[in-house]
């Protein structure tokens, strides 16, 4: 595969996942309000998702991610599935982090970068099948995108930590 082909597949993949990136970031911006786990604990006595996962962040993240996808030309249903999948994947990641006794906001390399992309991939593939090579390239680029976006959120005082 040529460098040009890798670049094109990567750009196609990043473009496809824009609703996921936007939904994931928007949920953080719009956090606050009622916790999605209602402050309850799981059978292990630990929070289900933690205080950072709220209905407002989840729902507004989906709406903003869906709108972003539609604005760049991705069909509304697909944009919605990508956004919903991203935030559902992020919830699953929070669930795993709580099982590992990690606090909300604690860094979890790999999990933090891929939970939302995995969720977006799983839900969106019911609508459209993205080339596996594009998904792999997006997975390789996502840690860099995650680092840049988190650093920017930290500088803008949206996040308390730069990770």
Which range is least confidently modeled, 4-18, 87-101, 148-162? Answer: 148-162
pLDDT, one tens digit per residue, over 59-91 is 999 999 999 999 999 999 999 999 999 999 999
DSSP state of 32: -
Q: pTM above 0.95?
A: no
CA distances from 23 to 4, 13, 150 (A): 29, 16, 14
- The predicted pLDDT at position 123 comes to 93
The residue among 63 and 156 whose pLDDT is bigger is 63
The pLDDT tens digits for 22-65 are: 999 898 888 789 999 999 999 999 999 998 899 999 999 999 99
Top pLDDT among 66 and 6 is at 66
Higher pLDDT, 8 or 79: 79
Given pLDDT bands bounded at 50, 70 and 90, which one contains residue 163?
low
Q: How do residues 96-146 score in pLDDT, each as one tens digit?
A: 999 999 987 788 888 888 899 999 999 998 888 788 888 888 888 888 887
DSSP one-letter string for 72-104: TT--HHHHHHHHHHHHHHHHHHHHHHHHTTPPT
pLDDT of residue 71: 97
């Amino acid at each position: 595969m040529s460098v040009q082909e890798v670049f094109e597949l990567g750009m196609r993949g990043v473009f496809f996942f824009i609703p996921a990136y936007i939904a994931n970031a928007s949920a953080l911006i719009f956090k606050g309000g009622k916790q999605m786990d209602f402050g309850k604990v799981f059978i292990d006595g630990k929070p289900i998702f933690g205080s950072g996962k709220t209905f407002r962040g989840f729902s507004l993240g989906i709406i903003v991610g869906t709108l972003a996808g539609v604005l760049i030309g991705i069909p509304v249903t697909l944009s919605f599935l990508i956004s919903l999948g991203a935030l559902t994947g992020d919830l699953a990641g929070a669930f795993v982090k709580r099982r590992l006794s990690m606090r909300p906001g604690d860094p979890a390399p790999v999990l933090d970068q891929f939970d939302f992309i995995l969720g977006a991939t799983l839900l969106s593939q019911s609508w459209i099948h993205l080339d596996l090579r594009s998904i792999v390239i997006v997975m390789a680029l996502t840690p860099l995108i995650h680092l840049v976006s988190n650093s920017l959120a930290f500088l803008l005082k949206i996040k308390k930590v730069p990770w």
